[in-house]
């Protein structure tokens, strides 16, 4: 028996609702595979805990997580707790401490989902965005001067290190090579950000020498955003800095049919620390408790986790099950135009998985 130890953090709002459906998927996968066991421990690290205990996670939280094989995350955030607390005191420490420097986001229009792009189909929208996840524009570096005076000044620095840039670019080329892709698209803005982006571009050029079979193409971020809408079929793998990747991936999720579907992986490629898999959506307080959240993003995140561990076939089984249920289309959650509950949609996926 192969054991995979998972730390599960359901979080707040719809987080626990979709996580519960994720657990059913893990159980179905165990049944299907026979030789695989997902050992999971659940941690109630969320805003409720913050309101009671004054902290999102215990002081030794990272110490507790570090020996798990993976972290499965739901979503955090509650109206009573400022968002910067839930994010900066739980998600970001995990991403940083565990060197999850790759944010992997499939932008794939699933069969059965209609893209808001009228003329684009599943063949057109199928690529992966690799976003730098630890530095760049989101580096917590800056300061304020002369606050509350007419001379008030704020500075927000971007920090690009050679080490951090090389490793994300290398990962992107390597990912393209492993997945048999023919091209790497690179987000830049070297015409306006005249220190960081020329540096980024130069490192792309250097690393590309090790990957002669994968041509790369630099796009200025503004044009790239437009192409996501106009010509998504151009893309196979896209690599971007933290801020650019953040914006591109939300645009990508929208193009691929919405927030209740899109998954993500926060990957530590070396495997020194656990990687973390989560839907991109938040805790959705507006629909929390109603049992109507779309569970697909959480379930697809499990597929990404399987892919990460090299269980490519099982990852496919999950994705195919999602697609076949979406294609059938008669028991969908309200965000997809139906009136089914979270559980009704998830149960169909679970049943499909059990069929193999």
Decide if residue 266 touches ligand NAI (CB under 6 A): no
Nearest-CA neighbor of 65 among 95, 36, 85, 38? 95
Round to whole Å and give the CA distance between 256 and 122. Answer: 9
Site string for Mg ion, 287-306 (x = CB under 5 A): --------------------
Candidate residues 56, 76, 110, 319; the one interacting with ligand NAI per rule CB under 6 A:
76
Candidate residues 22, 61, 77, 252; the one interacting with ligand NAI per rule CB under 6 A:
77
What b/e readout covers 18-29, taking b as 16+ CB neighbours within 10 angstroms?
A: bbbbbbbbbebb
Round to whole Å and give the CA distance between 345 and 260. Answer: 12
Decide if residue 131 touches ligand NAI (CB under 6 A): no
- Identity of the residue, 204 or 287, whose beta carbon is nearer to ligand NAI in the bound complex: 287
Query: Measuring CA to CA, how many Å separate 240 from each of 16, 73, 96, 104, 105?
Result: 31, 23, 18, 11, 11
- Identity of the residue, 198 or 291, whose beta carbon is nearer to ligand NAI in the bound complex: 291
Nearest-CA neighbor of 105 among 297, 312, 320? 297
Shortest Å distance, C-beta 142 to ligand NAI: 21
Shortest Å distance, C-beta 122 to ligand NAI: 21
- Identity of the residue, 55 or 234, whose beta carbon is nearer to ligand NAI in the bound complex: 55
Round to whole Å and give the CA distance between 271 and 37. Answer: 19
- Identity of the residue, 129 or 207, whose beta carbon is nearer to ligand NAI in the bound complex: 129
Quick one: three-class SS letters along 112-162?
CCCCCCCCCCCCCCEEEEEEECCCECCCCCEEEECCCCCCCEEEECCECCH
Round to whole Å and give the CA distance between 70 and 34. Answer: 20
Nearest-CA neighbor of 253 among 282, 216, 218? 282
Torsion of CA 356, 335, 263, 93, to 10 degrees: -140
Decide if residue 246 touches Mg ion (CB under 5 A): yes
Partner in contact with 246, chosen from ligand NAI, Mg ion, none, beta carbon below 5 to 8 Å by kind: Mg ion
Torsion of CA 178, 225, 111, 338, to 10 degrees: 140
Shortest Å distance, C-beta 13 to ligand NAI: 7
Is there a contact between 348 and 112 (Cβ–Cβ < 8 Å)? no
- Identity of the residue, 81 or 187, whose beta carbon is nearer to ligand NAI in the bound complex: 81
Shortest Å distance, C-beta 129 to Mg ion: 11
Partner in contact with 282, chosen from ligand NAI, Mg ion, none, beta carbon below 5 to 8 Å by kind: ligand NAI
Shortest Å distance, C-beta 103 to Mg ion: 9
Decide if residue 91 touches ligand NAI (CB under 6 A): yes
Stretch that binds ligand NAI, among 114-122, 130-138, 183-191, 278-286 (CB under 6 A): 278-286
Partner in contact with 125, chosen from Mg ion, ligand NAI, none, beta carbon below 5 to 8 Å by kind: none
Decide if residue 72 touches ligand NAI (CB under 6 A): no
Size of the site for ligand NAI (CB under 6 A): 22
Write out the binding residues for ligand NAI, residues 181-240 only, by CB under 6 A: none
Round to whole Å and give the CA distance between 142 and 151. Answer: 16
Write out the binding residues for ligand NAI, residues 8-47 only, by CB under 6 A: 14, 18
- Identity of the residue, 262 or 317, whose beta carbon is nearer to Mg ion in the bound complex: 262
Partner in contact with 77, chosen from ligand NAI, Mg ion, none, beta carbon below 5 to 8 Å by kind: ligand NAI
- What would the two tokens of residue 275 be? 């990687």
Nearest-CA neighbor of 220 among 195, 193, 199, 242? 193
Decide if residue 242 touches ligand NAI (CB under 6 A): no
Stretch that binds ligand NAI, among 129-137, 199-207, 216-224, 287-295 (CB under 6 A): 287-295
Decide if residue 165 touches ligand NAI (CB under 6 A): no
């Amino acid at each position: 028996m192969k054991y995979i130890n998972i730390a599960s953090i359901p979080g707040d709002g719809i987080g626990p609702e979709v996580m519960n459906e994720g657990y059913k998927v893990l159980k179905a996968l165990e049944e299907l595979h026979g030789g695989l066991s997902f050992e999971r421990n659940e941690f109630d690290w969320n805003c409720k805990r913050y309101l009671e205990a004054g902290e999102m996670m215990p002081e030794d939280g990272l110490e507790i997580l570090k020996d798990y094989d993976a972290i499965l995350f739901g979503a955090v955030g509650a109206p009573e707790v400022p968002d910067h607390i839930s994010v900066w005191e739980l998600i970001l420490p995990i991403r940083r401490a565990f060197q999850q420097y790759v944010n992997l986001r499939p932008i794939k229009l699933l069969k059965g989902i209609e893209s808001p792009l009228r003329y684009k189909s599943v063949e057109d929208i199928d690529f992966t965005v690799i976003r730098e996840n630890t530095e760049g524009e989101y580096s917590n570096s800056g300061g304020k001067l002369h606050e509350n005076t007419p001379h008030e000044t704020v500075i927000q620095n971007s920090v690009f290190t050679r080490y951090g840039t090389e490793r994300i670019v290398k990962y992107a080329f390597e990912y393209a090579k492993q997945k048999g892709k023919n091209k790497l698209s690179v987000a830049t803005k070297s015409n306006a950000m005249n220190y960081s982006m020329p540096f980024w571009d130069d490192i792309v050029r250097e690393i590309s020498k090790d990957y002669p079979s994968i041509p790369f193409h630099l796009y200025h971020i503004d044009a790239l955003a437009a192409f996501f809408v106009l010509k998504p079929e151009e893309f196979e793998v896209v690599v971007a800095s933290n801020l650019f990747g953040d914006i591109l991936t939300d645009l990508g999720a929208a193009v691929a049919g919405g927030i209740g579907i899109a998954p993500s992986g926060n990957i530590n490629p070396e495997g020194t620390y656990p990687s973390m898999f989560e839907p991109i959506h938040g805790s959705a307080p507006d629909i929390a408790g109603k049992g109507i959240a779309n569970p697909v993003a959480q379930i697809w995140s499990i597929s990404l986790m399987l892919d990460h561990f090299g269980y490519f076939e099982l990852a496919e089984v999950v994705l195919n099950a999602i697609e076949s249920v979406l294609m059938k289309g008669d028991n969908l959650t309200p965000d997809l135009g139906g009136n089914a509950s979270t559980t009704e949609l998830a149960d169909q996926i679970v049943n499909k998985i059990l069929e193999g």
